[in-house]
Amino acid sequence: MSAHTLLFTCLYNATTSNLSLYRSCCLLLLLGTPTTTDIVPSSGGNHSTYNFWGFPKGGAPAPAPPVRKQVCVTGTVCGAEFSANRQGCCPYENAVCCTNNMTCCPSGSSCQNHGWQSSCVGTAVLPSQVVGQPVCKTGAPLPLSKTKPNVLVIGDSVSIGYTPKIAAHMVDVALVQHSPWDIRDGGAEETAYGVACLDYLLHSPSGVFLKPDVIMFNWGLHDGPLKNETEPGQYGLPAVYAEQLENITVRLIAAQPQAKLIFALTTAFMCSATQDGCVVNLNNQATAIMKKYGIPTINLHDGITGQCGPAPNGTCFGQKSCFCPHCPAANGIGYEFLATHLIVPAITKLLPAHTYQADY
């Protein structure tokens, strides 16, 4: 196993212990107050219990990889609670970093925290800056491979669950990483977060601009299906989804001309016909946008309902509450299905035939 592969496996098998409260925007469940993250070696799926994303819980902690100091090419380094290195980038220059480690305010102002959110107070604060800006989580942590193609997965917490499965199946042919570097949160969150943070999601923690061969991206779960309200860095409204997703798409095309893009349609919400209907609506909008720009799609939603039937269905892949919206049970059986039957075949078709050589 290469050093890159070993480090990736350790990063994505990281778990949190004694969880007592987890963000409702991501899970719609109470799971736990995040504590320190233990990096544990891969066990081949032999643990008796798994965390909510389908990664093994427990095991002897191994030394964590060195955490490089966060570098922000623009903006200001601030605390980012759910970034794996606990740091991120505030888009404001000389920003005031709020003590909630989630938001930031413009220079010369002060933060008034309201849980995950904050208000920015001060005479210099513009009307558009009153609501605290979410701190952008950092991008994928590993240097790009120089010997095989590189794949970047940008997406929500469900994508955090299935990315390790993709990486394991493609380990001999590609280096697969997730952006943001986030192993216990909502990932790329809502499209408004994507618009604000896309540039940072394309940079490593050390500030290196990532130029992978393939980028699979996804937004949708945090844009109405989870909660129909606006909370920056957590939820967005379906009414602004198409405009913001198109903004992200156009910028990805411009910033990553070397990469082949593919869009993953949002996974089914099996426990609620209403929430799943919202998913279908957003997927239809996303499909139209991707068709406009010639970007192929992977229909994760229909792949799930094709196996489990339409929503509502409280049992999927033989597991209760599977894809409601996550499916960690039975060693992530739902994630494994998505990886092996839908995602890996689609990404493999896009891989370059030649040996990849990094240009930095």
The domain ranges of the chain are 76-136, 138-350
Q: Which of 151, 212, 147, 153 lies closest to 348, judged by CA?
A: 151
Measure the CA–CA gap between 279 and 226, rounded to whole angstroms: 10
Cα 9 off chain centre by = 17
Measure the CA–CA gap between 358 and 89, rounded to whole angstroms: 25
Model pLDDT, residue 62: 33
Q: Within 10 Å of residue 355's Cβ, how many Cβ atoms?
A: 9
Measure the CA–CA gap between 325 and 269, rounded to whole angstroms: 5
HSE-up (13 A, CA, CB side) for residue 89: 26
- State whether CATH 3.40.50.1110 applies to domain 138-350: yes
Angle at 126 between CA 120 and CA 132, to 5 degrees: 30
- The per-residue pLDDT string of the chain (360 residues; one tens digit each, 9 = 90 and over) reads 444 433 433 343 332 222 222 222 222 222 222 222 222 222 233 223 333 333 334 332 333 444 558 999 999 999 999 999 999 999 999 999 999 999 999 999 999 999 889 999 998 888 889 999 999 999 999 999 999 999 999 999 999 999 999 999 999 999 999 999 987 789 999 999 999 999 999 999 999 999 999 999 999 999 999 988 888 878 899 999 999 999 999 999 999 999 999 999 999 999 999 999 999 999 999 999 999 999 999 999 999 999 999 999 999 999 999 999 999 999 999 999 999 999 999 999 999 986 544 333
Length of the chain: 360
Phi and psi at 134, nearest 5°, equal: -60, 135
Ramachandran sector of residue 189 (left: φ over 0; alpha: ψ -120 to 50; beta: rest)? left
Residues 6+ apart with CB under 8 A from 344: 166, 169, 170
Q: Which of 301, 237, 228 lies closest to 264, judged by CA?
A: 301
